[in-house]
Amino acid sequence: MKVNGTPYRSLWWNTDAEVLEIIDQRWLPHDFVTQPVETMEDFADAITEMRVRGAPLIGATAAYGIALKMALDPSDTSLEQAWTFLNGTRPTAINLRWALNRCRAQLMPLPEDERASAALRLAHEIADEDVEINRAIGRHGLEIIKEIAAKKDGEPVNILTHCNAGWLATVDWGTATSPMYHAHDAGIPIHVWVDETRPRNQGALTSWELGSHGIPHTYITDNAGGHLMQHGQVDMVITGTDRTTRAGDVCNKIGTYLKALAAKDNGVPFYVALPSPTIDWTVSDGVVEIPIEDRKEREITHVWGRNDAGKIAEVQVTPDGTPGGNPAFDVTPARLVTGLITERGVVAADEAAMIEMFPEFRAAS
């Protein structure tokens, strides 16, 4: 995607400096800041502090972290240490472990003197694959939007989304936003209701993305979606996912479950954009088995924004001493999901249907 007319991915390899560079997303939408990631500690900090965020992007970032470690020390012990170190940065998004497992499986059989170059090639491969996966998700999601648009008599298709599942959360295109970009580029009129997504207000990132692409949208409070659905102002919901079980339960940003309940009650189709690496084939019951990350209280008690003087600042919104509870994700049961938009097509949130779509994972389930 483009920023001020310049094409960007959310991460890229600087071939001159031989270092990974990222967009430091903590400063968006008010300031566009890029930075190199030069040490293993930098990689851990980038993931933990959400300089990079979104399950696919976290996975790609971790692959480059393995490449750095192999350049420093390609031994078996070093590889295992890097796997453990990076795997501990965030517990919920499955793409992190998927990418780390893929790196370990492909690098461990190689001679040590081949691992550094192989690890970097693999990191590039994982990043490029993510772009193509998300592009394909957009093409399949476009067909759903076309069907709805055909019934709208030229009126915009109103889409509600939650959190940021855009190109900033992936290497490019995004998951939930990819169908929106494809629809807009195809000339289909759409309008997007963008949830603010407390506590980190990640909807502002979605708003920044959509605005940069010229897509009409409105930024709304997290609790407005149900009201809009009751009044016929939402044609469909599309969210992303950080981990999805083999049975179709979807773990996504906190508040997604409430949107799915409201959609079910109002007959609004609820779709989840799902890259296949985000499926955890080892898990059946998402509510019971998926670990939910608890983040810092300060994300609840304080907010960042730009003040009237144009400076980015943090302010406290709670009384002194008020404790904050901050579960970062919730699980939407498969029964509330209309369909999963994958890179291979739209599939029911059902174990048998998912295995039929991805038969190579039959053994894992």
Check: CB of residue 56 under 8 Å from CB of residue 128: no
CA distance 49 to 30: 18
Collapsing DSSP to helix, strand or coil, 355 comes out as: helix
Here the tokens at position 252 are 């996504």
Q: Is residue 139 packed enough to be buried (19+ CB in 10 Å), middle (13-18) or exposed (0-12)?
A: middle
CA distance 68 to 39: 8
Catalytic residue check, 285: no
Amino acid 123 reads A
Q: Which of 24, 172, 242, 330 is catalytic?
A: 242
Phi, psi dihedrals of residue 309, rounded to the nearest 5°: -85, 0
Phi, psi dihedrals of residue 256, rounded to the nearest 5°: -65, -40
Q: Is residue 325 packed enough to be buried (19+ CB in 10 Å), middle (13-18) or exposed (0-12)?
A: exposed
Which residue in the block uniquely carries the two structure tokens 């971790």? Answer: 62
Cα R_g (the chain), whole angstroms: 20
Check: CB of residue 263 under 8 Å from CB of residue 346: no
Report the relative pairing of strands 339-342 and 270-273 from DSSP bridges: parallel
C-alpha pair distances (Å), 54 with each of 174, 183, 197: 9, 22, 14
Q: What angle do CA 296, 298, 304 make, to 5 degrees?
A: 120
Check: CB of residue 210 under 8 Å from CB of residue 192: yes
Q: Hey, which residues are catalytic here?
A: 242
